[in-house]
């Protein structure tokens, strides 16, 4: 009787490998490059036609890559599990409703060669990461990261403020995103 659970686990592993290979093929059909792509598990790629992968890129399970504004990842780069990359942002500084309107701002992301990105890292729109950089687990990265830099996130900090007068005016006028969404399905 012990052989039945063992056989089940072997068949399950084989089936998982087959399904992952099919998932990899579907992704490769929608992106640019990707020779030698290694997927650790299922990932989500949105706007894959705007994704360019170098050779021998490794992407961990649970990664989410939104390529609306364009994403490029260099040769021999490793993304660990649950990495999130966005290449666009909402108009939140001077929106036509609160908290933001339907306008988007495209901001390409470039990740250099032989970069290591740790687990649960979030890469913000417009980020450029230089060759050989290491991004520590749980970091939120934005802006320019120099070549060979080792980056970890400090604690959260206030980096600026919205225009309070503009936001108050929109709130008084009851101009919230839900209302905008209902008018623009």
Evaluate if residue 177 carries a pLDDT over 80: no
Summarize pLDDT for 137-176 with one digit per residue, the tens.
999 999 999 999 999 987 767 777 778 898 889 889 887 7
Q: pLDDT higher for 174 or 86?
A: 86
Tokens found for residue 28: 């490769």
Q: Report the CATH number of the 31-183 domain.
A: 2.160.10.10
DSSP, res 50: G
Q: Is the entire prediction scored with pTM above 0.85?
A: no
Residue 177 in 3-state DSSP? helix
Asked if 166 is an active-site residue, the reply is no
The neighbour count for residue 88, using CB atoms within 10 Å, is 19
Q: Cis check for the bond before 99: say yes or no (omega within 30 of 0).
A: yes
Q: Which of 23, 76, 90, 110 is catalytic?
A: 90
> 149 versus 185: which is more confidently predicted?
149
Q: Give the pLDDT confidence of 15-36 residue by residue, as tens digits.
A: 888 888 887 788 877 788 888 8
Confidence of residue 102 (pLDDT cuts 50, 70, 90): confident
């Amino acid at each position: 009787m012990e052989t039945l659970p063992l056989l089940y686990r072997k068949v399950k592993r084989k089936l998982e490998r087959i399904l992952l290979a099919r998932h990899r093929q579907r992704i490769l059909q929608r992106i640019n490059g990707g020779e030698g792509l290694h997927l650790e598990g299922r990932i989500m790629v949105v706007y894959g036609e705007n994704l360019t992968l170098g050779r021998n890129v490794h992407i961990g399970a649970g990664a989410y890559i939104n390529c609306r504004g364009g994403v490029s990842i260099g040769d021999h780069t490793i993304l660990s599990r649950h990495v999130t990359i966005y290449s666009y942002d909402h108009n939140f500084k001077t929106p036509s409703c609160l908290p933001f309107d339907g306008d988007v701002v495209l901001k390409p992301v470039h990740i250099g060669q032989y970069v290591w990105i740790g687990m649960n890292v979030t890469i913000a729109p417009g980020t450029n990461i230089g060759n050989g950089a290491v991004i520590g687990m749980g970091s939120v990265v934005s802006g320019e990261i120099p070549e060979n830099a080792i980056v970890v996130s400090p604690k959260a900090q206030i980096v600026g403020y919205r225009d309070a007068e503009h936001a108050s005016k929109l709130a008084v006028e009851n101009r919230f995103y839900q209302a905008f969404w209902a008018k623009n399905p």
